[in-house]
């Protein structure tokens, strides 16, 4: 994987996280999920992004 490919995937991941978090916020404001569930899902999303970023970083050829 090249730096350019990693940049594309990083932007895609950032947009996906933004959409997911906006969706979770919408669900919470409409009382479809509780604040506790929101917190757990937000933490899960953050951990997955960190792991995915680490995997992408290792695949970059220098």
pTM of the model: 0.83
Q: Given pLDDT bands bounded at 50, 70 and 90, which one contains residue 62? A: low
Hey, how many other C-beta atoms are within 10 angstroms of the C-beta on 28?
A: 17
Query: What is the rounded CA–CA span in Å between residue 38 and residue 25?
Result: 8
State pLDDT tens for residues 6-57: 889 989 999 999 999 999 999 999 999 999 999 999 999 999 999 998 888 8
> Residue 32's domain spans which residues?
3-59
**Phi, psi of 40, deg, nearest 5:** -65, -45
Tokens of 29: 């404001």
**What is the count of structural domains for the chain?**
1
Give yes or no for residue 3 having a pLDDT over 90: no
């Amino acid at each position: 994987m090249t730096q350019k490919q990693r940049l594309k995937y990083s932007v895609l991941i950032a947009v996906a996280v933004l959409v997911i978090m906006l969706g979770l916020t919408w669900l919470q404001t409409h009382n479809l999920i509780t604040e506790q569930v929101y917190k757990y899902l937000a933490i899960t999303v953050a951990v997955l992004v960190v792991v995915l970023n680490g995997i992408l970083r290792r695949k970059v050829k220098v």
